Chains A and B, each alone.
Chain A
């Protein structure tokens, strides 16, 4: 095991009393004031997240677009400079290497933001796909970026108070460069919470100053620092997939209902054939949403039954801090993936009734 990595905000987290845990090779804050308190701050005011552990991979060169098109499922040719898209990196089997946000940085320059736990795997995979005809320069630039996410209904007011311009002019899933608290940074109108806000990419050494400036600017608005615990409950309430839990090398985009980022009519991409085949033959299992009817909290790995027969398994579950009941996502045999379908989730050998619902779990 290599030594655990620390973001440049590590000392700030400890000063704020965060509980630190190892996560994907990094020492990260899992909570500060408490998961529920932090979750509510993001839903009602604003929350600040250190997501510097996320990876960034640069793709440059005259054939950068061809390469990105080959290795991702969404259609990157639709991106203008300053636009971003959610996408998937697939194996030829249709299983997933990772999910990613593809940023078009320049004419022949893209950046892929990838999961912390997958950076090395993704980087190796991408380099293996480099062939003469798709020649591009692929670089792991993760060490060049810290990443801070500011999310919540007050997020844009707070960030604007630090900037000489109105950053709400940046549309959703677009980005621009700005100067904030003396730091040059990339402002991306994206997030993993379902709330308005930004993800900020900047040099690691500038992160502490920016963090303090945002916390200070937001203190009258009720801003709170938010750890990985609430990051997970927030994303789960929106049914945003988490790689390693809900999607992985053995699940496909179609099973995970991420078909909206698979563009079969663009140029060829890795995984296309397998996904087309699956679409033609039928999709056996689907990632569904469940709300528990009684008491009990579904968790990763719990079985899903109908009439005593196993029909699926929970991939993520929690007590929803926003709606106060147990919620889960999990794969079930496709025929049962319909709103209102009753299932049993097996919690410690007991069947607890749950119902299939349409996402998201939390609506404004």
Chain B
């Protein structure tokens, strides 16, 4: 299982890549494996504002439906349209090209609540 450096993580198995005031969000290798074959992805329009913990989208595998929770408060800047057209890409490359949305942050102090890679790796080991 992949645990890339330089990202932040949540207990809901999302990863966050922060670049200045903008955060890219996707789901982790652990999450894609747990879901199985991903066949559907629903993302919000850009410009929509989400609070920390809001549902921003839905990912579906053949068997299951899972909500995507916004790990941060802010406004959607961009969505990954090509991933919506080919959601199996999430299974193939959950990081990098597997980013789902980017958010312009309202409040970057929320970032302190997130796990770094070592904390997330430990968390996954605990629940596995």
Contact = CB atoms under 8 A, between A and B. Distances in A.
Contacts of A31: 36
Contacts of A35: 36-37, 61-63
B29 to A, nearest CB: 15
A37 B62 CA distance: 11
Give the secondary structure class of B's interface.
Answer: strand
Interface in B48-71: 58, 60-63, 65
B40 interface: yes
Interface in B18-63: 36-37, 39-40, 42, 58, 60-63
A229 B40 contact: no
Interface string A31-74: 10011110000000000000000000000000000000000000
Given A31-B36, A295-B40, A233 B62 contact: yes
A78 B58 CA distance: 51
A297 B36 contact: no
Contacts of A34: 36-37
A229 B36 contact: yes
A332 to B, nearest CB: 22
B62 A319 contact: yes
A197 interface: no
A140 to B, nearest CB: 31
B37 A297 contact: no
A229 B39 CA distance: 14
Contacts of B60: 297, 319
Contacts of A319: 39-40, 60, 62
Contacts of B58: 348
A246 B36 CA distance: 24
Interface string A197-235: 000000000000000000000000000000001001100
A233 B61 CA distance: 12
Nearest to A35: B62
Contact of A296 (B36, B40, B63): B40
Nearest to A232: B63
Given A229-B62, A299-B65, A318-B62, A36 B40 contact: no
Contacts of B42: 348
Interface in B71-126: none
Interface in A115-165: none
Interface string A277-299: 00000000000000000011101
A255 B60 CA distance: 30
B87 to A, nearest CB: 10
Contacts of A95: none
B65 A321 contact: no
A253 B35 CA distance: 35
Contacts of B40: 295-297, 319
A155 B106 CA distance: 59
A36 B37 contact: yes
A31 B61 CA distance: 13
7 contacts: A36-B37, A37-B37, A233-B62, A296-B40, A299-B65, A319-B39, A319-B60
Interface of A: 30-31, 34-37, 229, 232-233, 295-297, 299, 318-319, 321, 348
Interface of B: 36-37, 39-40, 42, 58, 60-63, 65
Given A35-B61, A36-B62, 16 more contacts: A31-B36, A35-B37, A35-B62, A35-B63, A232-B63, A233-B62, A297-B39, A297-B40, A297-B60, A297-B65, A299-B65, A318-B63, A319-B39, A319-B40, A319-B60, A348-B42
